Amino acid sequence: MELRLSAAIAALAASLAGPAHAGSISSAPVVNFYFGAGTQDACYVRNVGKRPVEVNVVITDAEGLAHTSSTDTCNGAPLAPDAACVVILEHPGGFMACTATTPGSAKSLRGTLETRLNLNIVSAQDLR
């Protein structure tokens, strides 16, 4: 009986000590069929939790390819509570999506992806 209890406690401890799963939130595709100057995508992510969180934010196209950003305040530094960051890229046209990934739970993250033409919003989708 003692042996069984010890094994159960060990299994529980192992499960608690195991690596945390990465959490993520993703947007549906946004659309902009203008190609060229004045078109861009902006993905905003906000930490609504009480602790700083590391976030990896990436904007991808219909083929899942990540594009190089022109502005990035999200990747490389923890996001403070109540703070928001943004990744902006000059828009190559078509459908795009944004994903924010964090090492722990993504419960404290909120996000939105906007596609713009001359800073006017063409379409937008929230990350969830």
Shortest reach from residue 122's CB to other proteins, in Å: 5
CA distance 117 to 123: 10
99 close to 28: Cβ distance less than 8 angstroms? no
Q: Is 63 in the site for other proteins (CB under 8 A)?
A: yes
Q: Is 24 in the site for other proteins (CB under 8 A)?
A: yes
Q: Is 55 in the site for other proteins (CB under 8 A)?
A: no
Per CB under 8 A, the list member of 11, 31, 48, 80 interacting with other proteins is: 31
Reading phi first (left if > 0) and then psi (alpha if -120 to 50, else beta), residue 98 is in beta
Q: Is 110 in the site for other proteins (CB under 8 A)?
A: no
105 close to 48: Cβ distance less than 8 angstroms? no
Q: Which residues bind other proteins (CB under 8 A)?
A: 24, 26-34, 60-64, 95, 97, 99, 117, 120-126, 128
